[in-house]
Every structure is written in structure tokens, then in C-alpha cells.
Amino acid sequence: MLTVQNNAIDRALRLLDAVGCKYGVVTPDGRTFGALPAQPPAPPSRPRKRRPATNFRQTGYSQKLRQMQVGDVERFFPPTGASAQQMQKTIHGTCCRLWGKGSFTTAVIKGAVEVLRMA
């Protein structure tokens, strides 16, 4: 380790000692400091949120989007069990990937998602 790094670690350890903290530190080169057992941090494990399957691929929206020309308007209806807002987010991502930001606009109107390609 570089001298600057060693100095920073020494300052941090002195500060922890002065405050009265218990600690365990492992440096990148393997040196350990402190009274607590020093262990590398475990990766956080949190349960994944399970979203309901919306299966927008069955609607065929991506194929219709690829075929759209400048000035075209398409209306997409979400499948059963999905909201129009969920479908709008999915369509928005696909449009960004295909044409880029600012080249289209989307709106939710009466439970359907409308897409206008502008550029």
C-alpha cells in the first residue's frame, strides 16, 4: 500500500479509538486491525419483488413499432390483467431503443396506449 493510504488508515483508526468504537478492519493487502473479528462484508440478500406476468410480447407491439414510419400513430391495448400504464412504460423503452429519445410520444387514452412517431 502507498504511504498516503497507510496514513489515512492510521488517522481513521486513531479517530475510532478516540471515540471508543469497536471495529474490525481488513486492508486490501490483508492486514487486520481492531478487536472485532474482521470479515469481508457479505453481499446483501434481499428477496426479489415478483411482478405479475404481463406478457406484452403476445400483443405483438414490438413488431408493429418496428414497422412504424414518421407520422404514423398506433394504438395498443394491454393484455388482460395488465394496466395501460405498465404497457406504456414497456412501449416507451422499446421506442427509445429503436428511435431514440424525443422522436416519439406516448399517451394513455381510454385504457389504450397511443404512440406517435415524430422523427
Q: How many CB atoms lie within 10 A of CB 96?
A: 13
List the grid coordinates of 52: 405479475
pLDDT at 54: 58
pLDDT at residue 105, rounded to an integer: 94
Query: What is the structure's pLDDT at 107?
Result: 94
SS (H, E, C) 42-58: CCCCCCCCCCCCCCHHH
Question: What are the mean pLDDT values of the chain's consecutive 10-residue runs (119 residues total)?
Answer: 85 90 84 77 75 61 89 88 87 91 93 91
Alpha carbon distances (Å) from 46 to 43, 49, 50: 10, 9, 12
Give the pLDDT of residue 38: 64
Q: Is the pTM of this model over 0.75?
A: no
Q: Residue 117: enclosing H or E segment and its boundaries?
A: strand 112-117
